[in-house]
Amino acid sequence: MNYGTTIKYPIELDHRGHPVTIGYIEAIEQSITFLLFTSLGEMLFLRDVGTTIKALIWKTNDVEKITTACVQSSRLIELNEKRIEKVIVKLLDRTQDTIKIHVGYSIRATGQEQFLVIPFKKQTEN
């Protein structure tokens, strides 16, 4: 089943000079990634859209705070990404310089379950 395509972001051009497009599932994954990397209050006209995960993951070892941020992120994704449902966000793995967040969800149109692992890399200070 084909549910269409959308333009890949950041925008890339193909050999003909046209914007590169991505498929339905890739577009959903792109949307989820954008939502998780958006800090609360970062969007100018949508101040209530965003997560606290990025702010918390390197500042605390408090698993309860990170778990709460993951639950809030699950709700945020469900509210803002209408193509999916049953979203579960959780901490998957943590190393010294990378934290991996696991996102599980179902495609609303088909019921197909999908999984996505999003790495957050620690920013080095210059």
Sketch the domain layout of the chain as residue ranges.
6-121
Q: What is the C-alpha separation between 36 and 34, in angstroms, rounded?
A: 6
Alpha-helix residue ranges (DSSP H) falling in 48-125: 53-56, 63-80
Q: What is the C-alpha separation between 119 and 117, in angstroms, rounded?
A: 7
* Under 8 Å between Cβ of 105 and 87: yes
- Topology of the domain comprising 6-121: Nuclear Transport Factor 2; Chain: A, (3.10.450)
Note the pLDDT tens digit of each residue in 61-117: 777 888 888 898 999 899 889 999 999 999 888 888 888 899 999 999 999 999 999
Angle at the Cα of 41 from the Cα atoms of 45 and 37, rounded to 5 degrees: 105
